[in-house]
Amino acid sequence: MRHLRTLAAHNKVAASLVDMIDRDGAGDWPPRANHESWPEAILPYRSIYEQLLPLLYTDTPSLDDRVNSERRERYRIAMRGLLRDKIDLTTVIKVLDEINVGNWTTISRDTLNGFYSCMAISRHAYRWATLPVVKVAQLEKIVDFPPELSVPWPYLQRYYGFTSDSGNHTSNVLMNFNTRGERILKFSDSLYPPVRLAEEGFFRLLYDIDFKSFDIFYDIAVAMSSFQDGNMRSCLESLRNMNMNLRGLCVLFSRRLREENISRKVWLNYVQSLHAWGAGSVINGEFTPFDGVSGNQIIVFQALDSLLGMKTYHSREGLERYVPASQRDFCKSISECSFRSYLVGTENEPMRAEFQALRFRAVHRHRIMPYLKNPASERYHMTTMASSLTADPGAGVGDALKPLDQMLIARLTQTV
């Protein structure tokens, strides 16, 4: 970090990376999140979520809409009651108001990260009100959140710089680990080993991807700074380091996303589904749907696209909804400073070769698509990224996943 802060004094990419680490990461990456030392005003949120976990999760989801509706209502009644009895919203807002004026004496940045994660996951739990997700929940398009979950949310949206009603990869995955690397809020209390192993294994994999990503971020900043200074030897060395670290990341993904670690039979319905969203809000008189947590929000892949000079597959609106502002700014700075196009027509073959080697999408598509194709009879076909469901009983899972697969193929073609 010391060298990175030195580079930040004269390089835009390094400066935006430092800002991302300081603002979202509380000085580290993956982000530091304190889940223990909370101000008394917000302390009950975590215990409420944990207390209600047995009402949220079931090993045997029903296929009866009436049964599922009653189950969901029981969960929501219980959560509304506990929030009303244990949360003093006035004192919660006082804590959050301090952040608005830059006063960090009441709550630290890493504590805010922990609270943000708890709030986001609690909202996802209330939105679905049962896990696995069921059809009647998917058909609900507007959720009436209790004030204890709705009033603090705009404060978090303003601080982190996003507009979605849902959580994102940063809140639901990265900030759900404490400073010791332990995952805090579980999504099931299942005694069934494949469910527990799949949940822990999958989210640990995502966290470890971001852990390894820091070296790639650093290499990008050094490469950009070196090219800016005309130091081609240092720039080439950074590109080589980047490729080496990216290969390590791809090996990690390939080795860990396997049936023996994360079972396909349980991943889609018991692990992934809570982090979808598929609901929205009426904004300026129009219904606005929101997606859920998705792998396309992982910042390292967006950063590599920016380095390669590729346009993001997110729309501008999508970026503002699901990717925190400092992470968007980091990728934007890389795009603005990308020098790949300057190598066209030059004799710098080693550097062009390193850019050509920056490939990562083939392993992602090869590994993830079989997991998404696993049937889940209690729900309609839906991915967390698109949050678009296929309610047509005649449509197969292949029909539902076709747009996602086409996007992955298109991006793979552009990359290579």
- Is the pLDDT reported for residue 217 higher than 90? yes
Res. 366: pLDDT tops 70: no
Per-residue tokens: 245: 């670290």
Percent pLDDT > 90 in the chain is: 69
Q: For residue 142, report the phi and psi dihedrals to the nearest 5 degrees.
A: -130, 125
Q: Is the pLDDT of residue 360 over 70?
A: no
Mean pLDDT taken over the chain: 88
Q: What is the torsion angle, in degrees rounded to the nearest 10, for the CA atoms of residue 265, residue 266, residue 271 and residue 274?
A: 100
Q: Out of 71-75, 211-215, 304-308, 399-403, pick the least confident.
A: 399-403
Of 190-199, 249-258, 299-308, 398-407, minimum mean pLDDT range: 398-407
What's the average model confidence in pLDDT over 143-165? 97
Q: How far apart are CA 281 and CA 405, in angstroms?
A: 28
Q: How many CA atoms lie within 13 A of 323 on its CB side?
A: 27
Q: In the chain, what is the greatest distance between 2 CA atoms, to the nearest angstrom? A: 70
pLDDT of residue 100: 86
* pLDDT per residue as tens digits for the range 195-206: 999 999 999 999
- Regarding the domain delimited by 2-21+195-415, which CATH topology (the fold level of the hierarchy) does it fall under? Methane Monooxygenase Hydroxylase; Chain G, domain 1 (1.20.58)
**Residue range(s) of every CATH 1.20.58.480 domain in the chain:** 2-21+195-415
Q: What percent of the chain has pLDDT over 70?
A: 87
Residues 261-288 pLDDT 10s: 999 889 888 998 899 999 999 988 899 9
Closest CA to 243 of 304, 298, 166, 155: 304
Query: What does the alpha-carbon distance between residue 372 and residue 272 come to, in Å, rounded to a whole number?
Result: 10
Higher local confidence (pLDDT), 314 or 260: 260
pLDDT score at 65: 96
pLDDT at res. 284: 87
What residue has token string 């006035």? 90
pLDDT per residue as tens digits for the range 113-124: 999 999 999 999
Contact between residue 128 and residue 136 where contact means Cβ atoms under 8 Å apart? no
